[in-house]
Amino acid sequence: MKRLTTLISSALLSGVLAFSSVSAGGHAAQAYEQILATPLDIQMPNRTVLGQEYRFPTGEPDIRGFLIEIPVGKETSLHTHAIPLLAYVVSGTLEVDYGSKGKRTFGPGSTYIEAIDWCHVGRALGDEPAIILGFYLGSDDPPHPLATDC
C-alpha cells in the first residue's frame, strides 16, 4: 500500500511538473525553497502526438486526472478523445496503435498530448503493466466524455 501511495504521489508531482513546463518560458530546472522542479520534455507541446493542432475547450475549465494501469498482455478498446489529454508514462512501456498513422511506443518519463478525434488502441508491452498519468483538459460547457468507443 505504501508503494502505491508513493507511486501515486510521484505521479501527481510529475503531472504538476508537466503543467509547469508547458507554461514555463525556459526549459531549465528551477529551484524554489530547496525543491527542484525539472521540466518534462513534452513531445510537440503545441500539437498532438499525430501532429494535430488543438485548442482548449471554451467554458469553465474541467481538468480531470487519472492514474491509468494497463495490465501486461491487455489493451484498451478502440477509442477516441474529443479533448486534449496530457499523458505521462510513469512506468512500463505503452504502445499506441493509430491505424493508418502507425504505432508509437512510449517508455517511462514519456510525455505527450494524445491524438484528438482519431481512433486508437493502447497496450502494455513487456513484462510489467503500463502505468500512465492522464490529465483530460476539458470544460463543463459542454461537458466532454473522456473517451468514446469507435
Residue 133 lies in a domain: yes
Which distant-in-sequence residues (6+ apart) come within 8 Å of 140 by Cβ?
A: 59, 60, 61, 62
Residue 16 lies in a domain: no
According to DSSP, the residues that pair with 125 across neighbouring strands are 93
Residue 79 lies in a domain: yes
User: Cis peptide before 142, with omega less than 30 degrees from 0?
Assistant: yes
Q: What is the reported pLDDT for 22?
A: 43
Look up the CATH number of the domain holding residue 53: 2.60.120.10
Residue 87 lies in a domain: yes
Residue 132 lies in a domain: yes
Per the structure, the count of domains in the chain is 1
pLDDT in tens, 126-150: 999 999 999 999 988 766 778 899 9
> pTM (2 decimals)?
0.77
Residue 46 lies in a domain: yes
pLDDT in tens, 73-93: 999 999 999 999 999 999 999
Q: Which domain holds residue 79?
A: 41-149
